[in-house]
Amino acid sequence: MHHNQLHKNMHDAGLLMLRIGFAFFMIPHGMAKLDRYMASLSSQEPLKFFNFLGLGPEISLWLTLVAELLAPVLLIVGFKTRWSAAVAAFCMAVAGFWIHRADPLGEKEHALLYFVAFTVMALTGPGRWSLDAIWRKQRD
């Protein structure tokens, strides 16, 4: 294998691992919030969730579900990668820099790590091993 091709393969393997790894570990956070929402449907208690910009707890939770459940699934397959990563990064920025701003670093560390990783994905794109790359190649 030519040195340049090996370099490209390693680069794309790194992007794939970044996408799948961080997205995979984000999904349980989204599933927990989905469970929380489903439990609220049968409860007499009002839904308690961060009220982002006054949108209300239900809309805020739905936006978080998009960022923590739908976006990671799209990232795993590499579909609409930059947009999906940007949505997830924004959610983690809100969590790390707003919701947990007064907390010690240990309390907000995961949100900040996810923020960095999803921001990198939004900036770099998915690499060759993604649905985005396959469809881009078909259009060209």
| Structural domains of the chain, count | 1
User: What digits encode the pLDDT tens for the residues 83-123?
Assistant: 999 999 999 999 999 999 999 999 999 999 999 999 999 99
Q: Which tens digits make up the pLDDT trace of 7-53?
A: 899 999 999 999 999 999 999 999 999 999 999 988 888 888 999 99
Is pLDDT at 65 greater than 90 in this prediction? yes
φ and ψ at 84, to 5 degrees?
A: -60, -45
Tokens of 6: 């090996």
Q: How far apart are CA 132 and CA 138, in angstroms?
A: 10
Instruction: Tell me how far apart the alpha carbons of residues 103 and 49 are, in angstroms, rounded to a whole number.
Output: 17
Query: Domain of 108?
Result: 3-139
Residues 77/131, Cβ–Cβ less than 8 Å: yes
